[in-house]
């Protein structure tokens, strides 16, 4: 699948995953896409934890109680470190956003579904609870988790606003 097809087919999968493992070579390719994402001033503030252990996934699902988390064969935790790459400025938010999009597109290109669970991860104490479960050092923040797997049901892509509603030429 080429880039444009992956971008067109990618959607946020909120259902359950089939009981199928994701091969290590595919996990590696997906994460390589995240690692290759651009980062502000090349700060490379984003890192990842790959979770495949069912017991750990159950602990994560106790924090973020969603069908896609409970049934995911793989969860990728996306972490950031606040690094001042220029005086007074860190780009960790932009960095992890670029990394996540590359991961989502790579997963789609390989035939998997995923979901960017940013809102649930950042809600209340969830990020801190996930950090404790995963043994994340204090200098890092758990920004999101991304369940990845083969969907057990057909997902649907939500309707997008039209090109003309979102794109202007030369000025607004």
Domain ranges of the chain: 3-151
Strands 113-114 and 46-51: unpaired
- What pTM was estimated for this model as a whole? 0.92
- Please give the chain's pLDDT, 172 residues, in tens: 889 989 889 988 899 999 999 999 999 999 999 999 999 999 999 999 999 999 999 999 999 999 999 999 999 999 999 999 999 999 999 999 999 999 999 999 999 999 999 888 888 899 999 999 999 999 999 999 999 999 998 877 888 899 898 999 998 9
- CATH superfamily, region 3-151: NADH Oxidase (3.40.109.10)
């Amino acid at each position: 699948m080429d880039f444009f097809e992956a971008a067109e087919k990618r959607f946020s999968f909120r259902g359950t995953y089939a009981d199928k493992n994701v091969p290590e070579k595919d996990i590696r390719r997906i994460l390589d896409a995240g690692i290759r994402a651009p980062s502000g001033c090349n700060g490379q503030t984003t890192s990842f934890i790959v979770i495949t252990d069912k017991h750990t996934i159950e602990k994560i699902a106790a924090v973020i109680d969603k069908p896609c988390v409970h049934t995911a064969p793989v969860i990728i935790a996306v972490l950031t470190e606040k690094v001042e790459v220029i005086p007074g400025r860190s780009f960790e938010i932009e960095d992890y956003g670029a990394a996540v999009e590359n991961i989502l597109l790579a997963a789609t290109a390989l035939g998997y579904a995923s979901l960017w669970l940013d809102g649930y991860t950042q809600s209340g104490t969830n990020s801190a609870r996930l950090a404790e479960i995963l043994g994340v050092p204090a200098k890092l923040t758990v920004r999101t988790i991304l369940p990845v797997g083969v969907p057990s049901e057909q997902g649907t892509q939500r309707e997008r606003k039209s090109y003309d509603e979102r794109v202007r030429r030369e000025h607004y």
